[in-house]
A = this chain, B = another copy of it.
Amino acid sequence: MLGKEISQAVIGRLPRYFRYLGELKDNGVERISSQELSELMQVTASQIRQDFNNFGGFGQQGYGYNVEYLYNEIGKILGLDTIHSFVIIGAGNLGTALGNYLNFERRGFVFRGIFDQNPALIGNLVRGIPVRSMEELPGFLRENEIEIAVLTIPKTGALGLVDTLVECGIKGIWNFAHVDLDVPEGVQVENVHLSDSLMKLSYNISSQNAGKE
């Protein structure tokens, strides 16, 4: 890959392209123009072409884009052509729900372990995998070369855990804890702040009621 830096705005749109192209592919659509895709997705054709061209030319003048090829290419860009192992830290409701979510597996994200500090939960099975104690975490991460840690624990626990995760070779943290994590360069954090999302919804409902938008 070349050294050009892609903006997070573009990256953020790739999964949506991927989803629409996957559906087109499943429906047997072979080719699509940026114009057609633009109508389907409700974005400008210009943006679609600009976005794709960040990664090189995937289309052909006069023809458009081959759906399956474009789908596969975007998948590769997103790193979905390789296996990503992950563990879940926090075996509460949310951690368990994520462990049971099968769709991640389809995209190459493999659920390898789940941990909790609560002795009452240890040994419980989540999709056939036993909840392990936090003491076992560092060894497990190193031995199994885990790439991603999913944090579904309260914020204080999450803050105290980052250093350990980084030391044990974790490359990415999917953070559901309601706190900003400070990680060294080279480690990626993707936040899912559910209550922030709910507050945005609340704002938009309230401002709508106030007669705006």
Q: Please report A residues at the B interface, Cβ cutoff 8 Å.
A: 1, 3, 5-6, 8, 11-12, 14-16, 18-19, 77-80, 82, 84, 92-94, 96-98, 100-101, 103-104, 107-109, 147-148, 171-172, 174, 178, 180, 186, 188, 190, 192-213
Contact = CB atoms under 8 A, between A and B. Distances in A.
Given A172-B205, A192-B192, A94 B84 contact: no
Contacts of A97: 92-94, 96-97
A104 to B, nearest CB: 6
A101 B213 CA distance: 31
Contacts of A100: 93
Contacts of A107: 195, 198-199, 202
What is the oligomeric copy number? Answer: 2
A190 B195 contact: no
A5 B80 CA distance: 39
Given A79-B207, A109-B198, A171-B209, 10 more contacts: A5-B213, A11-B200, A14-B203, A78-B202, A79-B203, A92-B97, A93-B100, A97-B97, A103-B195, A172-B204
Contacts of A203: 11, 14, 77-79
Given A16-B196, A196-B16, A202 B84 contact: yes
B204 A188 contact: yes
B101 A199 contact: no
Contacts of A212: 1, 3, 5
Contacts of A208: 171, 186, 188
A106 B148 CA distance: 31
A134 B19 CA distance: 28
Contacts of A197: 174, 190, 192
A72 to B, nearest CB: 14
A86 B148 CA distance: 33
A118 to B, nearest CB: 15
A171 B171 CA distance: 40
A39 B194 CA distance: 25
7 contacts: A1-B211, A15-B193, A15-B196, A19-B196, A78-B202, A78-B206, A93-B100
